[in-house]
Each structure stands twice: as C-alpha cells, then as structure tokens.
Structure 1
C-alpha cells in the first residue's frame, strides 16, 4: 500500500494564532513519529524478508540433505540386507557343514557306541530345527523390517512433501501477515489522520457555528437598528416635507418682506419727495403770503387814495376767492397727496400758477400805485388777518401715518427676519439630521449586505464541512469494516 498524505491545514487570513502554531508543532511531531515508525517497520520488513530467505534457503538445504540422506539410508539398508543375507547363507552353510561333519563324525564314531550316537543326532536335529526356525524368524523379521522401512520411507516422503508445503504456506502466510500488518498500520495511520481531520473539521464546524451564531445575533441587532433607522428616515422624510412647506412659507415671507421692503423704499422715496415738495410748497406758500400781504397793503394804499379796483382786482372778492380756492386746494391736495405723487404734481402746478398770477397782480398794482400816488401818501399797513394753512395739518397727518406704517413695516421685517433665521437654523439642523440618517442607513445597508454575504459564505462552508464529515464517516466505516475483515482473516490464518 502507498503511504497516506500528512495533514494539511489552511492558514487563516488574519495569520496564524498561538493555537494553530501549537497544532502545527503537534502535527509535525506526529508526522515525525509516524515517519520513524514507518522507517522502523520498513527495516523490520527487510530483516523479516532476509530471515525468510534464510529460512527458505535452510529448508532447501535440509530437503537436499534429507534427499541425500534418504538415498544413503536406502543404500545402507540394501547393504545391510545383503550383508544379512550373506551372513545367513554363511551361517546356514556353516550349520549344514557342521551338521554334516557332525553326522560324518557320528558315523565314523558309530562303532564307539550307539547310545552316544543317538543322543548327539537328536541334539543336532533339534539344533537344526531351531536354526531353521530362527532363520525363518529372521527372514520374517527382515521382511517386516523391509516393509517397515518402505512404509517409513513413504511416510517420510509424504512428511517431507507436507513439510515443504507447510514451509511454503508458512512463508506465504508470513508474507501475507507482514503485508496485512503493513496495510493495517497504513490503515491505522490513515484512520488516525481521518480522525484528526474529523476532529479538526468538527472543531472548525463548532467555530463556524459559533461565528454563525455571533453573526446571526449581530445581524438581528443590525436589523433592529436598520428598522430604527428606517423609522427615523421616515420621520426625517416627514420633517423634510415640513421643511419644504416651511421653505415655501419662507419664500412667501421673503417675497412679502421683499414686497414690504420695496413698498417701504417706495414710501421712503415718496416721503422724501413729499418732504421736498413740502419744502418747495412752503417756500412758495411763504412767497405767496408775502405777495398777499403786499397786495393787501397795496389795496389799502389805493383805497386811501380813493382808487377803487375793478372786479378782477377787488380785494375782498379776490382774497375770498383766493382763500376759498386755497382752502379747497389744500383740502383737495391733502386728499390727492394721499392718493399719490400725481396729485402733488397737480397741486404744485396750481401753486405755481397762483404764484405767477399773484406776481402779475402785484406788478399791476405797483404800476397803478406809481401812476396815482399822491404826494402826501401815507404808509400804513394793517393786515386783515393771518392766512391759515390747511395743508400743513394734512401734511403732518400724512407724515404721522407714514411713520406709523414705516414702524409697523420695520417691526414686521424684524419679526420675519427672526422667523427666517429660526427656520434656516431648523432647516440646517434637519438637513444635518437627514444627512446623518442617510449615512447611517447607507452604512447599515452596507453592513447588512456584508453580513448576508458572510452568512452565505458560512452556510457554504457549513455545507462543505458537513459533506466532508459525511465522507469521513463513510470512509471511517469502510476502514472499520476492512479492519474487521483483516482481523477475521488473521484469526482464520492463526487457527490451525
């Protein structure tokens, strides 16, 4: 069998830890011990093979010696048999010769005495019978001995054949035993490696399951956080809609404020124009009053001199008309000033026309006064009364109304600016919250995607680890069955 591969460990991405270093050291020591065991087994196998070769050589030498010895034994047996037969024949010849001589002797000594002859013959006859019986017994014993030798030779040949077969079978069984022991050792090594791999995969499975549980817990926490962020995002969207509405309101307020500012600027311009027109009208009015006073004085001087003016230059009617006209013009001008700048322009034109008329009237009066001025003319000036100005009061009311409107508009502008700043602060704060919520949601989605990918990866690794465990269990069961078969074969081989 081929030697099984050593343990292979994959290093993690974050580097080797102390536990993995210790496991690597233990694995290297185990591999060194396994290599030493395998080297010792190989050395023992070589010694065993040399011993088997020596035993087989000795068996072959013994067989040769036994075959040579059996042939020498057969030759010795043949030699002994021939010697025995020769000795028997020589004994028989000697016995027969002795008997003959004894018989001859007895016959020659027959004359000495008949009694001694008969006794000797009987003795010799008995001896001859005994010799023949002994010879027969010896022949029977020799035949039995030869038969036993043949049987022993046959049994020896059978035993030698059985011994040779037994030696061959023992050598084969010893070889098979060594091969089986080697295979058993290899299977034990592979089984140990598989058990180590199984324990390693189980440990990795436990670690992966723990990591999976941790990732699952983290995923549940992140899912809860994601739901919270989703809810906050929903609230932020609602706030954004409110912000949009507030922005629309703000835009409306800004437009109103801009309109109010434009109206304020227009009113300020209008007020400035009114003030300028008021100054101009005051100057014209003062000049008109001076001209009226001068006209009245001139009329009084003319009355003193007995000069009566016409209807066009009547002082009372003219002044009354002028006063009525001025009152009416002041009333209409106050209304018209409130209406707009066009009314002011009309009033200014009227005042300018009235001024020009008064200037012409003063010129005519001066001309008449120069024509009809007496020598003892007395200077007297008695003004009838002060001319009341209705336009000043209306201008003051207009200024007060304009000031109130300006103050109201300024207060509204300040209030709207405060509301705008507060709304801008709320908008910036809500935009910051929305950006934070969006970034948090994006991070949560990224983490969720990463966790889903890690979960799928862990599930794939878990499935691969379970498949590897099933394969290792199947190979373990297969190896245990092979071990049982090998043990059964070894048990049957050891039993005689």
Structure 2
C-alpha cells in the first residue's frame, strides 16, 4: 500500500571512522533492516488479504448462481401454490373476516407474505452480498477508476444481515399499513357479499383477486425501491470502505514517511554529533591559533621595541655623525684659520726680512761713514737734521718694530695653539684608529698562531703515535730488547725529548697567547665601558641641555608675561596721568574767575 523510500544517503566521513561512528552505522543498518522487514510483512499481508478477497468473491459468485437457481424454482412453486389455493384461501379468509371482523384474514395474509418476503430477502441478501464486488467493478470501469478496484473491501456478512434486518422491519411496517387498508376493503366486500347472492359472490372473488394482485404489484414495486435503496446503501458502504482503505493507505504512507523522518532525524542527530566534534576540533585549533597569535603579538612587540631602540641608536649615530661633521667643520675652520695665520706669518716674515735688510744697509752705511770719517752723534742725522728729530724717528721706528714684534708674537702664540689642538685631535683620531687596527691585527695574529700551533700539536701527536706504533712493532718483532740500548733507542729518546720540548714551547706560547687574548678582551671590555660611560655622559649632557632649554623657555614665557604686565601698567599709568591732567586742568579752570 505504500511505496518504499529511496533509502538513506550517508555522507562519508572525512577524518576516518571512529568507534562511535561504527556503532552508529551498525544501529542505522539494524534500523534499516527492521524497516525493510516491516515493509515486506506489510506487502505480504496485503497480498494475502487480496487473495482472501478474491477467494471469497469466487465462492460468493458460485453460491449466488446456486441460490438464483433455487430461488427461481421456489418462486415458481409459490406461484403455482398461490394460483391453485388462492381462491380457497381467500374464501377462508373472507369467512374468518366475517366471523372476527376481518383481522385474522389480514394476519394470515400478512404471515404468508412475510414468509415469502423473508425468503426473498434472504435470497436478496445473498445476491447483494455476492454482487457488490462485480457492481463496484462495473462502476469503477465506467468512472475510469480501475486502479482503485483492488482496494475495494467487501463488507462482512453480519453487517449486511443487520442492515437487511433493518430493511425487513421497514418492509413489515409498510406491509402492515397496506394490509390494514386491504383488510378494510376486504371487510367491505365481505359485507356486500354476505347480503348478496352466489353470483355476486363470484364477482366479489374476482374483485378480491384483482385487489390482491394490485397489492402484490405495489409490494413488488416497494421491494424494487427497497432493493434500489439497498444497492445505494451498499454502494455508499463500499465507498466508505474504499475511503477507509484509502485512509489506511494514507496512514501506512504517513507511517512510512514518519519512519523516513525518524531516519532523517537520526541522520541529522548523527550529523549534529559530527558537527559538534568538528566544532570541538575547530575550537581546539582556534585556541592553538590564539596562543600562536599571542606569541606572535609578543614577538611583534619585542621587534617593535627593538626597532625603537634601533631608531634611537640610529638617531644617536646621526648625532655622532653630526658631531663628527661639526668637528670636521671646526677642523676645517681651524685649518683655514691656520692658513690665514700662516699667511700673516709669511707677511711678518717678509717684513722682518726687509727690516733686517734695512738694518744691514744702515750698518753698511755707518761703516762707510766711519771710513770717510763722518761720525754720527746722538743729536745729528746724516741728512743734516737735528738730533731730536733723529731721536724721534728712532723712537718711532722702535715702537713700530716693538708693535710688529708683539703682533707677530700674539699671532704665533695663537697659531701654535691652533696647530697643537689640531695635531692633538689628529693624533687622537689616528691613535684610536691605529689601536683598533692593532687590536684587529693582534686578534688575527693570535688566531693564526693558535691555528698554527694547534696544527703543529696535532702533527706532533700524530708523529708520536706513529713512532709509538713503530716502537711497539719493533719491540714485538725484536726478541732481544736490551741489545738496542745504545742504537736506535738513543735516537728515539732524543726525538722524544725534542718533541716534548717543542710541545712545552707550544703550550707556553699557547698559554701566553691566551693570556694576551684575555688581556685584549679586558681592554675591549674596558673600552666598551668607557664608551658606555661617554654615552651616559652625553645622554646626561643632553638631558641637562633639554632641562636648560625648558628653563629658558619658561623664563622667556615669564619675561613675556612680565613685559605684557609692564605694558598694561604703563597704559594704565598713562591713562591715570591723563585723568590727573584733566582733573588739574578742571581745577585750574574752576579757580580762575
């Protein structure tokens, strides 16, 4: 009655099957097997029910044919009996009706009709119960519903008998009503026949037989109507049964759909569990990624701190470069100054040379004058001028020469100072450069010596091992060990002494080089400490400079505020002085008449 579902569609797990998934698969397979068994049992029961219905239909068809033949035979016998004994029965009924007022006649007729009617109804029930399926098949073929014929369920015989009993009761009530009306007609006829002659009695008999035939026809018509009603009731019952089967089919389909929904619910629950597991795994992975993210964040912070330190160091380096450039500029400026002083010195040297030449010429001239017998006194000059003028000239020349000497001495002192400073700076720079180069060279030299000594030590050790191996081989090969005491043993001992001496020398050199390396390392650490101290001093100086700049700005702000206050006071003072002058002028005008 219900079509089988398409089955379960399972998505294969990506991460492999676990024990729980295996158990769930086993449970799902068992549920599918149970569902398939239920469906097979349902289809088998449906087939068995259809076979029983077909068998019952065949039996009812065969019984119907036998009953129809029997009914035709009984109907013919009843008609013969009625035709033969109708007049005698009617006469007896009329006599009884005349004696008892017509009621026994009606009751006997009614009982006769009831027995006949029961026979007909029994045959009708059998006929109708057997012909329902054929009637429904014919109606279904007419209406085009051939696909629903197999679903028609023939009602059970107890239900049909109950319905037929209800129909019999209705027929009995109709028959009693018609019988009473017929008894009234018969009672009137009997009264007329009692007062009449025999010829009139013969005509009364014919009228009674015609009335009974009319009542029989009416009863037949009513029976046909009741048969139609019964057929309609059976059709409606079959339709209701058909609807019942449809409802049962719908119930079965709904059960199947419910089972499928349960399977889907089971699958969704299993998928939910898988999703929950995936969610747990994702949460674990998220926590791991969060931890890694925090670590990377910390490393990023450290890298940013290092970058800030590097920037600060670069700024300091730029400051050092600026200081070096400033020092270079000062050195260049001092070089230029030294060049200017050197040019001034050259000029002063030229003046000195000219002065010396002039002095030499004066001495020569004096010698010439002495040779000619001219002696210059203190008050006379060579050109006839007085001694005072000559003395003044000599004094002027002496003062000029003294000023020149003083200027040259000052220039020389300044020049010497600048040259000394420049030389000191150059010497310091060269000293540090040479010290660094010497330190690097010493380290390289020590490294080379260490490598050389290590190679020599390894070589000597190899030689000693080879010699020991040779000596062991010779001692093992020579059975007489004391014969070679003055031969090769002395040479071996000498070689061993030389090797030991060289090893000791190398060890001493190695220790010495290590000591020198440690000393140089100490020097390096000391120099690094000095550099750090210089850096700290420079940082302190920068801090002091920043503080001084801040104080300078603060003092400048205070100065500006004080100047502003002074200006305000001056403006107020001028305003007050103006008011005072106005008041004085007002008083003066007031005092004047």
Q: Identify whether the pair has TM-score above 0.5, normalized to the shorter chain.
A: no
Greater length-normalized contact order (CA 8 Å, ≥ 6 residues apart): 1
Give TM class, smaller chain: 0.3 to 0.5
